[in-house]
Chain A
């Protein structure tokens, strides 16, 4: 069988879990990944999903909208189950204190896989990271993971349906906030990654000359007040600049690939971002392109390179979801993921190598 997906849009959690359980039927899952709308209580959803699949490692998080093969959903739970034909071993651990070192979590992986993290083969293992989306600690976590291992971690920041009150990550029957779930998976077959964002870099550069990095605040671009420099770059006033945030974020462009940093707000002369920006970074002004066409091309290219897809997990930025909704393109976007069993969710941030915004990071299994 390999990989199977299920979803439920029922309103009562008990019915949702029974629905998903019955869709999986007698599938012998050793790993279940799930994403649940914040309409469901975090402790209850974690414990009921954990109890429904006691033989499997279970982990997931709260969302700002869900994705399942061919559809974008709201107020639902989506789940992906793997059996031993698709995943040899999976282990999920929780980093309960986001100030602590990821190394503590990694020692559990080393025990489980009987191998030092530094020696794990990135072609054999893949990591998934789900982080409290309101913690503001994503860069710190993904950066530290990258220091400790060559295994690639991909993932997203948990959401709460745009309430911005509390987000949760789930592992093996428990719910956590101000925490991250790190999962290490040894798939049977090959796997690949897609990082796609629908922006092209413009010639205009904004160099961060003064920043409060931990607050994700830029005080100056090009030695000018940040808000004024950004407004000047897009040819508008500071007052009008927020209207351009969605279509003109900025990006760290490396070898032609943008790592998007989305502006959140202007406060005084400063600009705040959804992602940290470091002093000295040269950012390019970006301009939006076609999400549907770009995502379709990225998934198709990966499908051809992989020689087929048996499952996808899509961590799709909430800002992309909002743009798709605005343009009436949600169905078309969902349709892109009808080519293989897919789950995903609308995130408050995406991770692949680093922490990015307005991006979809997608894990694909052969």
Chain B
């Protein structure tokens, strides 16, 4: 399977930034500093369980 990581990243960005361009940059930087490069993953990226677990933890923290 592929694309789940991109989908999770987009969900995080959309939920936090709500189309605010300045916030999109900040949220992407926060993800980068948490060890997830948001520009590295596309809809074709394989569903790496380690990255998915990291993103699930980020989603939990952001609540």
In the complex, which residues of chain A have a beta carbon less than 8 angstroms from the beta carbon of B25? 255
Q: A147-B61, A147-B62, A150-B16 are in contact. Are A259 and B33 (CB under 8 A)?
A: yes
Contact of B28 with A254 in the complex, beta carbons under 8 Å: yes
B21 to chain A minimum Cβ distance, whole angstroms, is: 12
Contact of A281 with B35 in the complex, beta carbons under 8 Å: yes
In the complex, which residues of chain A have a beta carbon less than 8 angstroms from the beta carbon of B22? 122
Q: A147-B61, A147-B62 are in contact. Are A152 and B26 (CB under 8 A)?
A: yes
- For residue B44, CB closer than 8 A to chain A, the reply is no
Q: A122-B23, A147-B61, A150-B23 are in contact. Are A254 and B35 (CB under 8 A)?
A: no
Taken residue by residue from 28 to 56, chain A's Cβ proximity to chain B (1 for < 8 Å, 0 otherwise) reads as: 00000000000000000000000000000
- For residue A189, CB closer than 8 A to chain B, the reply is no
- For residue A15, CB closer than 8 A to chain B, the reply is no
- For residue A116, CB closer than 8 A to chain B, the reply is no
Chain B residues within 8 Å of A, Cβ to Cβ:
16, 22-23, 25-26, 28-30, 32-35, 37, 39, 61-62
Which bucket holds chain A's interface residue count? Answer: 10 to 19
Chain A residues within 8 Å of B, Cβ to Cβ:
122, 143-144, 146-147, 150, 152, 252, 254-255, 257, 259, 278-282, 353-354
Between A and B, 5 residue pairs with Cβ closer than 8 Å are A252-B32, A282-B37, A353-B26, A354-B30, A354-B33
Contact of B23 with A353 in the complex, beta carbons under 8 Å: no
Give the residue name and chain of the A residue nearest to B38 (CB): A254
A193 to chain B minimum Cβ distance, whole angstroms, is: 10
Contact of B35 with A353 in the complex, beta carbons under 8 Å: no
Which residue of A146, A152, A254, A279 contacts B37 across the interface (Cβ within 8 Å)? A254
In the complex, which residues of chain B have a beta carbon less than 8 angstroms from the beta carbon of A278? 34-35
Main secondary structure of the interface of B (DSSP, over half): helix
In the complex, which residues of chain B have a beta carbon less than 8 angstroms from the beta carbon of A150? 16, 23, 26
Give the residue name and chain of the B residue nearest to A278 (CB): B35
Which residue of A144, A254, A281 contacts B29 across the interface (Cβ within 8 Å)? A254
Give the residue name and chain of the A residue nearest to B25 (CB): A255
Complex-state Cα separation, A221 to B17, whole angstroms: 34
In the complex, which residues of chain A have a beta carbon less than 8 angstroms from the beta carbon of B61? 144, 147
B26 to chain A minimum Cβ distance, whole angstroms, is: 6
Which residue of A143, A144, A280 contacts B33 across the interface (Cβ within 8 Å)? A143
In the complex, which residues of chain B have a beta carbon less than 8 angstroms from the beta carbon of A152? 26
In the complex, which residues of chain A have a beta carbon less than 8 angstroms from the beta carbon of B16? 150
Complex-state Cα separation, A279 to B22, whole angstroms: 28
Known contacts A143-B34, A255-B25, A353-B30, then 16 further A-B pairs from the complex at CB < 8 Å, ordered by chain A residue? A122-B22, A143-B30, A147-B62, A150-B16, A150-B23, A152-B26, A254-B28, A254-B37, A259-B33, A278-B34, A282-B37, A353-B26, A353-B29, A353-B33, A354-B30, A354-B33
Contact of A354 with B29 in the complex, beta carbons under 8 Å: yes
3 tightest A-B CB contacts, nearest first: A354-B33, A278-B35, A254-B32
Give the residue name and chain of the A residue nearest to B17 (CB): A150
B16 to chain A minimum Cβ distance, whole angstroms, is: 7
In the complex, which residues of chain A have a beta carbon less than 8 angstroms from the beta carbon of B26? 122, 150, 152, 353
In the complex, which residues of chain B have a beta carbon less than 8 angstroms from the beta carbon of A257? 29
Complex-state Cα separation, A150 to B24, whole angstroms: 11
Complex-state Cα separation, A190 to B9, whole angstroms: 31
Contact of A255 with B30 in the complex, beta carbons under 8 Å: no
Complex-state Cα separation, A147 to B62, whole angstroms: 5
A142 to chain B minimum Cβ distance, whole angstroms, is: 9
In the complex, which residues of chain A have a beta carbon less than 8 angstroms from the beta carbon of B39? 254-255
Complex-state Cα separation, A146 to B37, whole angstroms: 17
Give the residue name and chain of the B residue nearest to A353 (CB): B29
Most A C-beta atoms less than 10 A away, residue of B28, B34, B39:
B34
A281 to chain B minimum Cβ distance, whole angstroms, is: 6
Contact of A280 with B35 in the complex, beta carbons under 8 Å: yes
Complex-state Cα separation, A152 to B29, whole angstroms: 12
Give the residue name and chain of the A residue nearest to B30 (CB): A146
